[in-house]
Chains A and B, each alone.
Chain A
Amino acid sequence: MITLTINDKEITLDKPLTVLEAARQAGIKIPTLCYHEALKPYGGCRLCVVEVERMPRLQTACTLMAADGMVVKTESDTVSKVRRGILEFLLINHPLDCPYCDKAGECELQDLVNKYGPTVGRYIEEKRRVPESHKDEIFTRNMSRCVVCTRCVRMCGDVQGASAISIMGRGNRSRMEPFSAESFNCEYCGNCLTVCPVGAILSRLYIHSFRPWQVDKEVETICSYCGVGCSLVAQVRDDAIKRVIPRMGFGLNKGLLCSRGRFGYEYINSGERLKTPLVRKDGKLVESTWSEALGIVADKLMKVKNSHGGSALAGIASPRCSNEDNYVFQKFMRMACGTNNIDSISRTGFAAAQKYFEDLLGQGTTANIIEGLKNSETIFILGGDPTAINPILGLAIREAARRGAKIAVLGNAKGLERFKTLQLVPSVFKEADVLEALLNEIYNVKGLRGENPALDKGIRALYEKAAAAFDMQGFDNLKKILLDSASTAVVLGMDLLQRTDGHRSLFAIAGLIYLLEARLYLLSEKPNEQGVVDTGCVPDMLPGGRPLGIHDFKRKFEAAWNGVIPENEGLTLLEIIEGAKNKKIKALYIMGENPVFNLPNESFVSEALKSLDFLVVQDIFLTETAEIADVVLPALGWTEKTGTYTNLERRIQLQKKAVETSNGMEDWKIIAEISNKMGYRMNFADSKEVMDEIAKVSPLYRDLTYQEISKGNCLWPYNGEPLRGEISEAPAVFKTANEYKGDFYLAVEKPLFHSGTLSRRSPALMKIYSEPALKVSVKTAEKLGLNEGDRVQFFTQIGSKEAIVSIDESIKDNRVYYSNNFKGNGIFSLLTFNIDKLTKMPGLEGCEVKIKKL
């Protein structure tokens, strides 16, 4: 216990704090400038000086640890004079251009001078002038205004881990500069903007367009991009999002954001948004009315149902839509359309993997909190770069590395280059061999746990048929690290699983998690991949993860929903596409998804969808898929509606409405109206009523209300009741990888700056990463004689594309990476797939690529 006195007030601390923190805790305000709660104390601005009895000099409260018996004065004539002096020093070079500066109104220096500062200046010489830099597309740098608090540099280096900027020059010539000189070559997280106390770094997205005090309202909501679900504040003026800012310490991201979350918001204001329903007439999509369009949809779906039965209908739900949207959608497919043919793009990764792990390891096995990653002793990362796919989760890994955790990476992961302890890069498509060998070795040392008969049996069987000892550089080290670790986290991306033998890796990872007692984190590209599963947008489970095959569950839902749920399990996503191709599926309803672009083998998917009798697409943009639809229905997007999202750690969060728009309708509402027309009644007044029903029928979300969810700490499994029985046998391994003989292999780039096809409509993200590049390793470039920026043509079995070359030092093998985000330039149009019989994921095929310099 430490007891100290600040301004005659006795304060008792239960843990060691600085004098500044102790004072703040007691409600005593000490002015600061270089101090920031997210950063380590710096002691540079000297504004927080205080008098401490028995100490000869004034002390900075931010760096001084409170000690027992300390007597501190924060307000005295001496202290006031010093503060005034410091502010006068700051103002000798800081321009007094507040009427022009965007920061005015939320500038810490302005506020400080207003409260403590001198009213007149005594400095008569010319101020230091550094020309404002507009060389970067996103950031404006005004180094005349910089007060060299270094908060941006410390944020960039110590928290974000990007280390892209530094203070150049010395003394009064100090200024912040990116190492890449004029424009930034960084992760564009913009966390430097959050911490800049003055107008030295500003976002060009809103420069000179509004004043902080002119914001109509601020809405605390969550991000719409990935499966982390960061909290943020949308600032609204005239029913448009003017700016997205984080709030320090707020949400699971604690005030940090990534490029997509901070700068990607403009898509919602895009002029390309769908505004009215479109109906195909004489082969062309033409504007229509809601009543006509909804009438056509209801009519067509009924006709197909009546003539071919419910099994000729299918629906594709969306991990971009809310739990409410998805819940209503699956209810509609099951009850109004009479089919269990409902799935989502999550089948290509998250949903399939999640199901697999839950079956083997138990329900809720992926419900691990992101914050907890920081305390891991070892983090094993495979199948993708977490810092690009789920950037804020990536930051937790970097933080763990700083705290001394061992970071083991299998494959390429650019964002962890400077943080990894160990990297293993198996030859292409041999990852499953490595993982199986690793499992065998770990089993050999640790033996079985005897708690899970299915896994125990599977692991022993694998060991018995194992080949000779495995030899690969780094393998033994990886084994040692994993065996020595008392607390291991496995972070799994989907790239590893989208293989013909993806289920082999799945089993090996499940085995490793089991034997090492590790925690599992599944990377999730879309914001509601977990919610899609939870709300029943899967062909084999009802909401709440209740298997369709268990009669009691089905009967309960039938009672609640007042109708009959079809008996048979439905088709998975890729089976639906195949079904469309071979005419088993006649009508397809797609909500918020773009399969033509987002699934492998574009021409196959596109042809399949064109073979349908009727295709409805509900979206906010006219996507590649919407373009071939018979009816297109405009939906509402992020900040335009309220709904809940369930993130990858299974935290249920509320995304709130912030603006009014006449663009479209809520997804659930459109569907409910069609359902009503088809004769199955759905009467929800608002999304809250949908949630109330979910809370009634789903054991996962039982009794949850919006009010409770708003607190942000509702983590699944909410009431911890078992959802389904356990399996007694590990799923059999069906297939081993094909032998491939290419020199180079095409792989999917998951860029930090893009997400699906949504980010295309974000001007800022398009400026940061405007054209897809073929990313190649240094070795590949040497082998082919390629230089940065060269144009190449590359060919797979089914197609070819042209692109510029970008050499990426973090690529360690003969993969070449190309993204699937840019219009007309998706990698998936070059690849084919097999359906994995077990997981129903696509196993990407046709990856061998030939590259020709142009």
Chain B
Amino acid sequence: MEKILLKNIDNPNSADINEYIKVGGYGSLSKALNMQPKEILEEVKKSGLRGRGGAGFPTGMKWSFAIADPNFPKYLLCNADEGEPGTFKDRPILEKNPHLLIEGMAISGYVLGSEFGYVYLRGEYPYAKDVLNKAIKQAHEKNYLGDNILGKGIRFHLAVYQGAGAYICGEETALIESIEGRKGQPRNKPPFPVNAGAWGLPTIVNNVETLSNLPYIVEAGGEAYSKTGNKDCSGPKLFCVSGCVNKPGVFELPMGTSLRDIIYKHAGGIKDGKKLKAVIPGGISTPVLPADSIDCAMDFVSMPKAGSMLGSGAVIVMDESVCMVRVTHRALKFFEHESCGKCVPCREGTEWLRKILERIENGKGREGDVELLSDVAGNISGKTFCPLGDGAAGVVMGMLKHFRNEFEEHVKNGNCKFQI
């Protein structure tokens, strides 16, 4: 498959604008500005592009809502707050191919009628910040950004806004609160950001990967784009594989590639010849899958049928030596730490779950603790303000579904036979 997103990143100077232009970069922007925004929107709709942040919402549809809103200015926010454990798929774009994102955002801005864009960058990506800032400067100098882009009278300005280290700011309304200078906590919906987002104005929040698909869609057309991947989920997808594999890393593969292929064909199989035990397929907040369930297509439609979610495409691989109680405990420590505190079930529930898991992990589990875990997780799930709490409860419920015996053994014996 021809690489779209990670094209050229092996070139050591790939982040430089001249190298990017050499391989045809900013050609799509130039082409786009000769098209009507409506035509591009049609191509995006035809392409079947779906948001790569995890929810998989059709991008063209989201954009139509924002375009239909009569208020101006409109803001285009790029969600680069890649903070979920196991997720590092956007990092190669941000660090090695920043102009692809900038070009994608400039095109999007043109389509949406937006003149101001922000990249909301994860606080822990300081290198990416420097790269992006430099790239934005170069793009301004070459007139790919600014008040009169390529002399066409089109205006689009772009700035990087760095987060302060809160996972919740990856949630789009919390991201907007944060960019406005407030504490990162999700907002009530409706109104949705497309109508009342940043500073109360129409705001489109798209993932780095989503926006980076734009240059190709403009260049090759929506139909060509939709040929990659599955019928309902088209295009390439970045998968970042970590854990007990021989070749961890980011892979650009067609949407719908099977989980088995990702692990064994692309990531080099399980390390040290061990057996696969479980996979978290889409980042820590997606339910775990046992080894026998990996023959599923990694896309937005198939994964729920397999009992999990595509999420961000962050595949965390665990071999037979991994203790699932420990994994769950570690995950809940993360969720407890990252709970924003706005709603009761998430704020108090994640703490409670972590404490129960901690005592089980430390050999101080009590009879009934596994049932308690399940009940507490059930009291969180579906009752929280935003999906963070659902994710936390989902981890526990998923683990209990497939590995309940490990938890029970821990309670009974006070320890387990696993190494990690």
Contacts and interface: CB of A to CB of B under 8 A. Distances in A.
Interface stretch (A164-172, A623-631, A662-670): A164-172
B163 to A, nearest CB: 13
Interface string B340-372: 111111011111100100010000001000001
B84 to A, nearest CB: 16
Given A41-B188, A82-B379, A85-B383, A172 B345 contact: no
A123 interface: yes
Q: What size tier do the contact residues of chain B reach?
A: 20 to 34
Interface in A28-70: 41-47, 49, 57-58, 63, 65
Contacts of A63: 188
B382 A148 contact: no
A58 B341 contact: no
B379 A89 contact: yes
Interface in A151-172: 166-167, 169-172
A75 B334 CA distance: 35
Contacts of B345: 46, 85-86, 89
Given A43-B343, A45-B344, A89-B379, A171 B385 contact: no
A44 B343 contact: yes
B348 A44 contact: no
A768 B350 CA distance: 41
Contacts of B379: 81-82, 85-86, 88-89
A14 interface: no
B338 interface: yes
B383 A58 contact: yes
B350 A171 contact: yes
B347 A172 contact: yes
A172 B348 contact: yes
B341 A169 contact: yes
Nearest to A171: B339
Contact of B385 (A43, A47, A90, A166): A43
A63 B190 CA distance: 9
A92 interface: yes
A125 interface: yes
A170 B166 contact: yes
B341 A172 contact: yes
Q: Which residue among B344, B349, B352, B385 has the maximum number of chain A CB atoms within 10 Å of its CB? A: B344
A170 B341 contact: yes
Contacts of A661: none
B257 interface: no
B383 A148 contact: no
B299 interface: no
Given A58-B383, A170-B341, A93 B355 contact: no
A44 B359 CA distance: 29
Among A63, A86, A93, the most chain B Cβ lie within 10 Å of the Cβ of A86
Given A63-B188, A172-B339, A172-B341, A46 B348 contact: no
B382 A58 contact: yes
A65 B191 CA distance: 11
B383 A44 contact: no
A167 B343 contact: no
Which applies to chain A's interface (DSSP): helix, strand, loop or mixed? loop
Interface in A118-135: 122-125
Contacts of B183: 166-167
B137 to A, nearest CB: 34
Given A123-B352, A171-B338, A172-B339, A86 B166 contact: no
B339 A57 contact: no
Interface in B169-205: 183, 188, 190
Given A43-B188, A63-B188, A85-B379, A92 B352 contact: yes
B337 interface: yes
A88 B349 CA distance: 9
A46 B344 contact: yes
B383 A171 contact: no
A41 B190 CA distance: 12
A167 B339 CA distance: 14
B366 to A, nearest CB: 8
A174 B347 contact: yes
A117 to B, nearest CB: 13
B352 A171 contact: no
A89 B352 contact: yes
B371 to A, nearest CB: 10
Nearest to B341: A174
B336 A44 contact: no
B339 A93 contact: no
Interface in A66-118: 81-82, 85-86, 88-90, 92-93
Contacts of B348: 89-90, 92-93, 172
B384 interface: yes
Contacts of B338: 170-171
A109 B214 CA distance: 52
A89 B346 CA distance: 9
A474 B7 CA distance: 56
Nearest to A56: B382
Given A167-B183, A170-B166, A171-B350, A86 B340 contact: no
Nearest to A175: B341
Contacts of A47: 344
- Which has the most chain A C-beta neighbours within 10 Å: B343, B350, B366, B379? B343
B412 to A, nearest CB: 18
B385 A44 contact: yes
Contact of B372 (A46, A93, A122): A122
Contacts of B382: 57-58
B361 to A, nearest CB: 14
Nearest to A47: B344
A45 B343 contact: yes
Contacts of A172: 336, 339, 341, 347-348, 350-351
A173 B343 CA distance: 13
A351 to B, nearest CB: 45
B341 A171 contact: yes
A46 B350 contact: no
A58 B382 CA distance: 7
Given A92-B348, A92-B351, A82 B383 contact: yes
Given A46-B383, A170-B166, A90 B344 contact: yes
Given A86-B345, A89-B379, A169-B341, A46 B384 contact: yes
A113 to B, nearest CB: 13
Nearest to A40: B188
Nearest to A123: B352
A761 B113 CA distance: 63
A147 B342 CA distance: 10
Given A43-B385, A88-B379, A171 B344 contact: no
B364 to A, nearest CB: 10
A93 B351 CA distance: 10
A55 B383 CA distance: 13
A18 to B, nearest CB: 11
Contact of A148 (B190, B341, B351, B366): B341
A58 B340 CA distance: 21
A88 B380 CA distance: 11
Given A125-B359, A171-B336, 16 more contacts: A42-B188, A43-B188, A44-B385, A46-B344, A47-B344, A86-B344, A86-B383, A90-B348, A92-B352, A148-B341, A148-B342, A148-B344, A171-B340, A171-B350, A172-B336, A174-B347
25 contacts: A41-B188, A42-B188, A44-B344, A46-B344, A46-B385, A57-B382, A82-B383, A85-B345, A85-B383, A88-B379, A89-B344, A90-B344, A92-B348, A93-B351, A123-B352, A147-B344, A148-B341, A166-B183, A167-B183, A170-B341, A171-B339, A171-B341, A172-B341, A173-B341, A174-B341
Interface of B: 166, 183, 188, 190, 336-345, 347-352, 355, 359, 366, 372, 379, 382-385
Interface of A: 41-47, 49, 57-58, 63, 65, 81-82, 85-86, 88-90, 92-93, 122-125, 147-148, 166-167, 169-174
The 8 A-B pairs at the shortest CB distance, nearest first, are namely A85-B379, A174-B341, A89-B348, A171-B339, A172-B351, A171-B341, A125-B355, A63-B188
